[in-house]
């Protein structure tokens, strides 16, 4: 559910509210009760709940697992001496790591 920011034009009270996008905007200020409570234009905000793709894939803050000692990174580089192509080979052609392992 999105988080919306509101400000009262009468008393200046400002607050964030968690509400569905389909809900009508709030009108009454929770502080003074006047109908001068307006939704502000601000950066989009949302709250993720539960266990799903966010919790399993991105919750670690984007940190990659540390490389184990003894493991070397393998990067494919084009063979410029022999005029090799700079395009990547498609899977199924025997050039990708998944095809080579099988």
Does this model's pTM top 0.85? My answer is no
User: Can you give the residue ranges of every domain in the chain?
Assistant: 3-39
Q: Mind listing the pLDDT tens digit of every residue in the chain (102 residues)?
A: 788 999 999 999 999 999 998 999 999 999 999 999 999 987 766 666 667 676 666 666 555 656 666 655 555 555 545 444 444 555 666 666 666 665
CA distances from 57 to 11, 46, 54, 89, 94 (A): 43, 18, 5, 28, 29
Tell me the HSE value of 56 on the side-chain side, using a 13 A CA sphere.
4
């Amino acid at each position: 559910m999105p988080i919306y920011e509101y400000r009262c034009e009468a008393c200046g009270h400002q607050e964030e509210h968690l509400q569905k996008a389909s809900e009508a905007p709030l009108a009454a200020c929770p502080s003074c009760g006047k109908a001068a409570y307006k939704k502000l234009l601000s950066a989009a905000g949302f709250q993720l709940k539960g266990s799903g793709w966010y919790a399993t894939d991105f919750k670690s803050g984007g940190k990659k697992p540390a490389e184990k000692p003894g493991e070397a990174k393998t990067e494919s580089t084009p063979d410029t001496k022999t005029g090799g192509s700079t395009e990547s080979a498609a899977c199924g052609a025997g050039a990708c790591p998944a095809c080579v392992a099988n």
